[in-house]
Chains A and B, each alone.
Chain A
Amino acid sequence: MLQKNSICVKILKGVLKSKDGECRKILRRNAHFSFYPEKPPSGSTTKMNMFQAINNALDITLRTDESALVFGEDVAFGGVFRCTVDLQKKYGKSRVFNTPLCEQGIIGFGIGAAASGATSVAEIQFADYIFPAFDQIVNEAAKYRYRSGGEFNCGRLTIRAPCGAVGHGALYHSQSPEAYFAHTPGLKVVIPRGPIKAKGLLLSCIRDPNPCLVLEPKILYRAAVEEVPSGDYGTLIGKADVVQEGKDVTLIGWGTQFHVLMEVAQLAKEKFGISCEVIDLVSILPWDLDTVCNSVKKTGRVLISHEAPLTSGFGAEIAACIQEECFLHLQAPVARITGFDTPFPHIFEPFYLPTKWRCLEAVKNLIDY
């Protein structure tokens, strides 16, 4: 525990937890992406970063649903990423509480609480540490309803886990495990790209009658700031966003990588005059095949990009489906720019990531094919 926490603390101190502007500047200077905020929707909004938007969604949940419980390692004092700050003060120790340091216990406990009628929002401190709970998630949560013929279910369970690269998280504070879970019927998996999506998706997942996994790109917790709707709202699970329309190439990504692709689109326009359509997939399971295929049929070229390793990454699933559905429309092979098939390294992170430059090169190659 100490080891895990000491690394967490370093990360927090180093980049995320700083309250002064100095570290924020360092983050901006060193970050491998620029944040592209969503257009603020009409109606009342509040300026929030992503951890505040998540906190707000949990606050709404605890306020509107008496049965709701929020728990995990270190959530009581506000969470190592501040997502649960002040919630225990507001709603009491019986509803917002620390658990022992044991991921399989957290999810097993959450399944049981959910099966007995409590809206359960479990936190896994880093997505890298979700694997001890893999059995409970894959064999239990995902199959609960199916195996009982609907007599029992744990649909009230939502799991939150910070994921993705953070600059220096190395092997166990950087992983993007979405593909492991995409292979699990019965589960829903979503990844927000910013505060507006994070709040809407979390509220939708909490209320969805199926167990859901929300993977939150941790580098966005403070870096992503948007005008977030103040009220209660949901975001459709299973629906992708065409954020920027284009006609030459379709770029597909999610989480932080979406922002990389937005910049790639800008660079492709400036440098080569290529018009890119950028899609945030948002939802990994179930995923929005129609939106993706409509775009690919229009552009005829596609780049899929994710931080996770290439082999059996979720990009492979998308590529295979595109090939099936859009065979006659494709003018070039489906390109995938992803993390390499290595563990996520510490000092080599700049070379490991699917950078905008690797993506830009791939876009150019797609056009030149």
Chain B
Amino acid sequence: MAFDKVLKNVINKCLKQPKLLRCLSTHFKHDIEDHVGSKIKWTSTLDFVSPDCFSPIPTYRVLDSRGNILNKFEEPAIENATLEKMYKDMILVNTMDKVLYESQRQGRISFYMTNYGEEATHMGSAAALDLNDLVYGQYREVGVLIWRGFTLSEIMNQCYGNCLDPGKGKQMPIHYGSKRLNFVTISSPLATQIPQAAGSAYALKNQNRVVMCYFGEGAASEGDAHAAFNFAATLDCPVIFFCRNNGYAISTPTEDQYRGDGIAVRGPGYGITTVRVDGNDVLAVYNATKAAREFCLERSKPVLIEALTYRVGHHSTSDDSTAYRSQKEVDERIQNDNPVKKLRLYLENKNLWNEEKEKEWLHLTKRNVLEAFNAAEKILLPKWTEMFTDVYGVIPHHLRKQMNEMEKHLENYRDHYPLEKYST
């Protein structure tokens, strides 16, 4: 078990230096030979490496569940205004989620996905990035957009697919994107954005920018995740892979998703510097992301962050999660490990927040959300001809012909189409 001992030594060394990003891509200095690209150390003992040879990758925390700092050296120096914005944006996301979820239930928008329980992963990571950094998301990261300045109107316009939606109503609700905010438009196919993020990072190398790529632990099972980790490592791409491990992929619990030590343990296998953080601790997420960003820029290499959290809400408006998990499990999480509550306690300890501010902000956000929602609902949908634009840079001949055919058809059958909802 000599090999195992060496590994344990390295792990212990890393553990003793919590500031250090966990780096399991170990470098042995003695008795090591090179063999066609592999480092080898001979042994005459037949020992299989089992998952039990390694202790679990520890989860980095800054705050305890009551919002107290565990180690004062780990407390990030974040300005008060920024801390307050983190909290306010979390509440904003919650309020917006509530309104949009309900409006879907009333049939006013076709679909919605809430962000309950994962607010700290959004705000902690977004705050540690530069606005110039390019972000690729999965779909449950609206807080990152809000942090960057995406307005409530922009959110509502996309969910309604009205005239003001830059996506021109072509995608389902919550598939946001913003060129202005360097947030690449979301698409439904899972994990496809991960190798794309690596490609973008390669193209943006040496421009003092990193690429941030979010995905869930379920998406990490896709082949594209494997492709991305390996490409990013071999091609030295300054990209942060940020995995939101919230315990479920729709109804599938993690024990049906993987049998290794989560997603983090895969990082070192690809030669990627990796860290696991408490995803309900906004300060831990912030510290990890900030350090990862610096690492990416300095070394032009990827970093993997696995943020452990819990999906408090249903998967989407098309899902009833009580069919596969107990309400008790959810309630316990909300009660005991709540990222919003944790930050609030921290802010209250610092005298940055109180009940009065809470009430005032709740009132204000609710009003703003409803205003934006009602305004978006009244705006006409884009003209039907927009259906044919942006397939290509320029509408090709054959497509123009199909558009003209539709135009003629509408002249004769216009009463059978909901034209009144669309611009002319």
Q: Pick from A104, A114, A186, A286: contact of B199, CB below 8 A.
A: A114
Query: Does chain A have a CB within 8 A of B240?
Result: no
CB-defined contacts of B223 to chain A, threshold 8 Å: 102, 104, 132
Query: Does chain B have a CB within 8 A of A111?
Result: yes
Query: Does chain B have a CB within 8 A of A151?
Result: yes
User: Do A111 and B196 touch across chains, with their CB atoms under 8 A apart?
Assistant: yes
Quote the shortest CB–CB distance from A326 to chain B (angstroms). 16
User: Do A147 and B393 touch across chains, with their CB atoms under 8 A apart?
Assistant: no
Q: Pick from A108, A148, A210: contact of B185, CB below 8 A.
A: A148
CA distance in complex: A263, B67 (Å): 81
Query: Does chain A have a CB within 8 A of B228?
Result: yes
Q: Pick from A109, A113, A147: contact of B167, CB below 8 A.
A: A147
CB-defined contacts of B235 to chain A, threshold 8 Å: 97, 99, 109
Quote the shortest CB–CB distance from B396 to chain A (angstroms). 5
Query: In A82-130, which residues have CB < 8 Å from any B CB?
Result: 97, 99-100, 102, 104-105, 107-118, 120
Query: Does chain B have a CB within 8 A of A145?
Result: yes
User: Do B168 and A149 touch across chains, with their CB atoms under 8 A apart?
Assistant: yes
| Chain B interface extent, by class | 35 or more
Can you name the residue of chain A whose Cβ is closest to the Cβ of B205? A94
CA distance in complex: A100, B187 (Å): 25
CA distance in complex: A155, B185 (Å): 15
CB-defined contacts of A97 to chain B, threshold 8 Å: 235
Query: Does chain A have a CB within 8 A of B142?
Result: no
User: Do A140 and B396 touch across chains, with their CB atoms under 8 A apart?
Assistant: no
Which 3 pairs across A and B sit closest by C-beta, in order of nearness?
A: A112-B199, A108-B195, A105-B227
CB-defined contacts of A330 to chain B, threshold 8 Å: none
CB-defined contacts of B389 to chain A, threshold 8 Å: 150
Query: Does chain A have a CB within 8 A of B68?
Result: no
User: Do B393 and A210 touch across chains, with their CB atoms under 8 A apart?
Assistant: yes
User: Do A145 and B393 touch across chains, with their CB atoms under 8 A apart?
Assistant: yes
CA distance in complex: A227, B392 (Å): 33
User: Do A149 and B166 touch across chains, with their CB atoms under 8 A apart?
Assistant: yes
Can you name the residue of chain A whose Cβ is closest to the Cβ of B185? A148
User: Do B392 and A210 touch across chains, with their CB atoms under 8 A apart?
Assistant: yes
CA distance in complex: A148, B224 (Å): 21
Query: In A137-177, which residues have CB < 8 Å from any B CB?
Result: 139-140, 143-153, 155
Query: Does chain A have a CB within 8 A of B204?
Result: yes
Given known A145-B390, A151-B166, A151-B177, contact A139–B187 (CB-CB < 8 A): yes
Q: Pick from A104, A117, A140, A143: contact of B227, CB below 8 A.
A: A104
Query: Does chain A have a CB within 8 A of B368?
Result: no
Query: Does chain B have a CB within 8 A of A209?
Result: yes
18 contacts between A and B (CB under 8 A): A102-B227, A102-B230, A108-B194, A108-B198, A109-B196, A109-B199, A111-B195, A112-B200, A116-B134, A116-B204, A135-B189, A145-B392, A146-B390, A151-B179, A155-B393, A185-B391, A209-B394, A210-B393
User: Do B175 and A186 touch across chains, with their CB atoms under 8 A apart?
Assistant: no
Quote the shortest CB–CB distance from B381 to chain A (angstroms). 13
User: Do A140 and B187 touch across chains, with their CB atoms under 8 A apart?
Assistant: yes
CA distance in complex: A114, B177 (Å): 17
CA distance in complex: A115, B213 (Å): 14
Quote the shortest CB–CB distance from A322 to chain B (angstroms). 14
CB-defined contacts of A150 to chain B, threshold 8 Å: 166, 389-390
Q: Pick from B195, B201, B399: contact of A105, CB below 8 A.
A: B195
CB-defined contacts of A289 to chain B, threshold 8 Å: 398
Query: In A301-359, which residues have CB < 8 Å from any B CB?
Result: none
Known: A102-B226, A110-B199. 8 other contacts (CB 8 A): A105-B228, A105-B230, A145-B390, A148-B185, A148-B390, A149-B390, A150-B390, A209-B394
Query: In A196-219, which residues have CB < 8 Å from any B CB?
Result: 209-210
Query: Does chain A have a CB within 8 A of B171?
Result: yes
Can you name the residue of chain B whose Cβ is closest to the Cβ of A187? B392
Quote the shortest CB–CB distance from A185 to chain B (angstroms). 5
User: Do B170 and A146 touch across chains, with their CB atoms under 8 A apart?
Assistant: yes
CA distance in complex: A146, B185 (Å): 11
User: Do A118 and B196 touch across chains, with their CB atoms under 8 A apart?
Assistant: no
User: Do A186 and B391 touch across chains, with their CB atoms under 8 A apart?
Assistant: yes
Given known A105-B231, A149-B170, contact A135–B192 (CB-CB < 8 A): yes
Quote the shortest CB–CB distance from B151 to chain A (angstroms). 16
Query: In A42-73, which residues have CB < 8 Å from any B CB?
Result: 67, 69
CA distance in complex: A117, B211 (Å): 14
Query: Does chain B have a CB within 8 A of A256?
Result: no
CB-defined contacts of A69 to chain B, threshold 8 Å: 202-203
Query: Does chain B have a CB within 8 A of A136?
Result: yes
Query: Does chain A have a CB within 8 A of B197?
Result: yes
CB-defined contacts of B103 to chain A, threshold 8 Å: none
Query: In B154-212, which residues have CB < 8 Å from any A CB?
Result: 165-168, 170-171, 175, 177-179, 184-185, 187, 189, 192, 194-204, 211
CA distance in complex: A102, B222 (Å): 13
Given known A112-B195, A143-B187, A289-B398, contact A149–B224 (CB-CB < 8 A): no
CB-defined contacts of A100 to chain B, threshold 8 Å: 227, 230-231, 234
